[in-house]
Chain A
Amino acid sequence: MKVIIGLIVLWPLVGFLFNGLGRNIWSKKVIAYKATGYIVASFIFSILAFLNVQSKGAFTAHYFDFINTATFKIPFDLKVDALSSLFLLVITGVGSLIHLYSTAYMKEEEAPHYARYFAYLNLFVFSMLLLVLGNNYVIMFIGWEGVGLCSYLLIGYWFTNATYNYAAKKAFIMNRIGDLGFLLAIFWLIVKLGTVSYDNVLTAESLAKLATPDITAITLLLFVGAMGKSAQIPLYTWLPDAMAGPTPVSALIHAATMVTAGIYMITRSNILFSASEFTQHIVAIVGISTALLAATIAIKQNDIKKVLAYSTVSQLGYMFLGLGVGAYSGAVFHVITHAFFKALLFLGAGSVIHAMHHEQDIRKMGGLKSKLPITHLTFLIGCIAIAGVPPFSGFFSKDEILAAAFAKSPIYWALGVAGAAMTAFYMFRLYATTFLGQFRGTHDQEHHLHESPLAMTLPLILLAVASSIAGAIGVPVLMGGHHWLSHQLAPIVGEAKEAGLSAGMEWALMGVSVTIAVIALLIALSIYRKKADGEPQTALGKFLYNKWYIDELYEIMILNPLHKFAGFLKEVVEKNIIDGAVNGTGKFVQYGARQIRLLQSGQVGYYILCMVLSIVLLFIIWFNDITILKFFFKLTHKF
């Protein structure tokens, strides 16, 4: 078992080294087979680990001590339990499909870049696996930084484009802000408890040792970390910009890795979060506001990937709402279903972009239904799933979160349903504009429209199947299911609390949210099935089209003062003080040397005089001047 867990993590690392070091050696075929093969191998081992957890329970594998001092110890432990084994399956499963898809999508790249791409992709999966499997916060943090780095590398994959590089830097810096919070939380834990292992931290005893302000501070700092990685207000702006990377990378970031890290971390630390009422409120409020903000922005975006990106931010908001109201298993459920349908949607979008020769503006698409039948059908399934129409997977997970939100406060529920309606609206706006109506692109593009190759359609089909049926793992008791997932996660998040809602109430809630979503969906279809959005006319439309001017606001509030300060440092401090000191030293030495040089007159007599005088001086110093004077005094005295 220890070997299996180790290999799950190591396969992608081997793939990274193989492709990274041999990028000038291997042919594209070898690169593609190896990179995909290693992730598939990891997936197979993950299944083994999952089955083992099912039959024998959690397993912790100790490899070596990462840090070992007399008073403080961080072991390098990897742990599979109900939570991490589920994440393993999602990461490696969806990851393998994305790798497979990438082999076809990135075909036009040259071999060294192709290898670089797959090396980064493998490293990404490796970091995420390390994050999920680590048995303490420090190992998690290593993976946490790893996914941050890989997202930077992959977003800036086409590094010759300056805008893409800015997007990559933005992602990295936004993440760093969050990472700082996470790091501070780890330090706080070390100071207060002297340990970071889950087995020691996440227990009732250590909770008793922590004062309430400590718990609140630690959980808030952890949440700051989660905000960065999982793109919540105010650190969400990097995720839409991350669309600069290749489309499969977006799928990987949005579905299998990276953004789910924050959800995983909070679910893992659920004992701490449940102990702080205040933090839970903050999490829920930030979650629902993010969900609504991103949903409103998504309504007016015209870039196919941007719409999906904002929808991810919005769905992540739902997950945080779930975490905030204590529905941890609901949040994990939504992570899983979201991984399927969002990977599906992104890969479908990639297929469309591929067919349209890198055109991403949906206003120039339309009528692709007949040209790309498989992409169309799978994309439609993805849209239905995310819109929350039963019996597709998104309905079950979203409904569970909404029910828990209602139990906490009906306001959360109402806002959540509004968000869900917007989700249905913008997804079907996207669908209708892209696939229905008349083709609006150039004649040249229309001529080249083609369905993608099997390597791209196969992942789409598999993900479409998964998006349709994944809801089965969490069918509520109400509908005759027995909610396998919440039983599964019970050892980690505790038994699901009774929502305290009557059956009739729950049916009513479901009915309302589904009805509203379906109405929104039909409105979107009827508006956009014939024509695309023009330029935004109304003030509100412009406001949403420009994403609430949040980027501009950050620029005025944070970037400009920073630039001014940096300019001050550059113009004043650097030029006058630092340069002055450095140049002054040089000038002083030069001047001094020119003066001292005059001593070297070349007169032998002068040199000897100096020598004699120096010897006399040395004598005086050596004999401490008094002694030598006394000696002469004594000599003369004798006469």
Chain B
Amino acid sequence: MPIQYYIFFCLTLFSIGVVGVLTRRNAIIVFMCIELMLNAVNLLLVSFSKMQHAAALKLDAVSTAGIDAQIFVFFIMVVAAAEVSVGLAIIVMMFRNTHSIDINFLNRLKN
């Protein structure tokens, strides 16, 4: 499949994530949208990695070029997992305080 499909797919995923973050007020959905953006990036990394690897194999049968991008994917996953644990904890605390998970109530620092 041409790389363009992947790029457009990732772009779409990412845009859905951005729009979700911007428009939704439910903290959990905002959170899910952030995950969506992260995974869009992951997918893009993997697809570019495959593409570069395939091109390198044509020149050299034992080439490992492009593999390293896939390692980043794992890094991102780990960071995302950590982020989720912290973020969910924040949401729980927020619910305890405001009895709501609407992020628009998080304006107590104003004034």
Main secondary structure on chain A at its contact with chain B? Answer: helix
B1-15: CB near A (< 8 Å → 1, else 0) gives 010100110000000
> Is B18 interfacial (CB-CB < 8 Å)?
yes
Residue pair A638, B22 in contact (C-beta under 8 Å): no
B25 surroundings in chain A (CB, below 8 A)? 605
> Is B61 interfacial (CB-CB < 8 Å)?
no
Give the complex CA separation of A602 and B106 in angstroms.
7
A638/B2 contact (C-beta < 8 A), A603-B104, A603-B107 known: yes
Partner of B107, one of A601, A612, A635: A601
Residue pair B107, A602 in contact (C-beta under 8 Å): yes
Give the complex CA separation of A117 and B48 in angstroms.
91
Residue pair B103, A604 in contact (C-beta under 8 Å): yes
> Is B96 interfacial (CB-CB < 8 Å)?
no
A604 surroundings in chain B (CB, below 8 A)? 103-104, 106-107
A600-625: CB near B (< 8 Å → 1, else 0) gives 11111100110010000000000000
> Is A633 interfacial (CB-CB < 8 Å)?
no
A-B interface contact total, Cβ < 8 Å: 30
> Is A639 interfacial (CB-CB < 8 Å)?
yes
Residue pair B8, A612 in contact (C-beta under 8 Å): no
Give the complex CA separation of A603 and B106 in angstroms.
7
> Is B110 interfacial (CB-CB < 8 Å)?
yes
> Is B69 interfacial (CB-CB < 8 Å)?
no
Residue pair A609, B110 in contact (C-beta under 8 Å): no
Give the complex CA separation of A605 and B4 in angstroms.
32
Residue pair B110, A600 in contact (C-beta under 8 Å): yes
B23 surroundings in chain A (CB, below 8 A)? 605
How many residues on chain A are close to B (CB under 8 Å)? Answer: 12
> Is B109 interfacial (CB-CB < 8 Å)?
yes
> Is B84 interfacial (CB-CB < 8 Å)?
no
Give the complex CA separation of A604 and B23 in angstroms.
11
Give the complex CA separation of A639 and B3 in angstroms.
12
Closest A residue to B23 by beta carbon equals A605
**B28-68 residues at the A interface, CB under 8 angstroms:** none
A612 surroundings in chain B (CB, below 8 A)? 18, 22
Q: In angstroms, how far is the closest chain A Cβ from the Cβ of B75?
A: 21
B103 surroundings in chain A (CB, below 8 A)? 604-605
Give the complex CA separation of A638 and B3 in angstroms.
11
B70-83: CB near A (< 8 Å → 1, else 0) gives 00000000000000
Residue pair A602, B21 in contact (C-beta under 8 Å): no
Residue pair A635, B22 in contact (C-beta under 8 Å): no
Residue pair B4, A639 in contact (C-beta under 8 Å): yes
Give the complex CA separation of A605 and B24 in angstroms.
8
Partner of B104, one of A605, A609, A635, A639: A605
A635/B110 contact (C-beta < 8 A), A605-B22, A605-B103, A608-B22 known: no
Give the complex CA separation of A605 and B20 in angstroms.
10
Residue pair A602, B22 in contact (C-beta under 8 Å): no
**A344-365 residues at the B interface, CB under 8 angstroms:** none
Residue pair A608, B8 in contact (C-beta under 8 Å): no
Closest B residue to A605 by beta carbon equals B22
A639 surroundings in chain B (CB, below 8 A)? 4
B8 surroundings in chain A (CB, below 8 A)? 635
A625-639: CB near B (< 8 Å → 1, else 0) gives 000000000010011
Give the complex CA separation of A600 and B23 in angstroms.
19
Give the complex CA separation of A492 and B108 in angstroms.
91
Residue pair A602, B2 in contact (C-beta under 8 Å): no
Residue pair B110, A601 in contact (C-beta under 8 Å): yes
Q: In angstroms, how far is the closest chain B Cβ from the Cβ of A596?
A: 15
6 closest A-B pairs by beta carbon, nearest first, are: A602-B107, A602-B110, A604-B103, A638-B4, A609-B22, A604-B106
List 29 A-B pairs, Cβ < 8 Å: A600-B110, A601-B107, A601-B110, A602-B106, A602-B107, A602-B108, A602-B109, A602-B110, A603-B104, A604-B103, A604-B104, A604-B106, A604-B107, A605-B22, A605-B23, A605-B25, A605-B103, A605-B104, A608-B21, A608-B22, A609-B22, A612-B18, A612-B22, A635-B4, A635-B7, A635-B8, A638-B2, A638-B4, A639-B4
